[in-house]
Amino acid sequence: MKTTLLTPETDENAVKTAAELIRAGEVVGMPTETVYGLAANALNGEAVKKIFLAKGRPQDNPLIVHIADFEQIYDLCPAVPPQAKLLADAFWPGPLTMIVPKGDCIPDEVSCGLDTVGIRLPSHPMARALIRESGVPLAAPS
């Protein structure tokens, strides 16, 4: 496995390069509220498997789907409860994860076969920039 360190301080195209890796099915490290986590395209089950492999993460420990804007939740979940918007307005961006029914676009590798999925809008601006530049939601641990 090849590791490349990309930082905005050393590479003005770091986010663009990381987004290209995400779209190519690779795993990248991204900042979250408290730590860096491994992230992959949340809509690509094969890419998500690489997170579990790299971390030695148990296959029954679901990942969280990270989005950059609240409206993205509607593309991922068939039935977003009205309370979700109230919670998002109060606590997002931030470390709140909402558990909602998952849509068919979410692979079982993300949810570990559950009918629900955790959704989060991270507060770190670099994380949101990576999600936007990738054009896809990102699966990552909390």
The residues spanned by each domain of the chain are 14-140
CA-to-CA separations, 31 to 100, 127, 141, in angstroms, rounded: 24, 6, 11
Return the pLDDT at 53: 95
Return the pLDDT at 5: 72
**Considering only the top CATH level, what class is 14-140?**
alpha beta
What number of other Cβ atoms are within 10 A of residue 129's Cβ? 18
Q: Which residues of the chain have pLDDT under 70?
A: 1, 8-11, 142
The structure's pTM equals 0.93
**60 with 112: CB under 8 angstroms?**
yes
Return the pLDDT at 34: 78
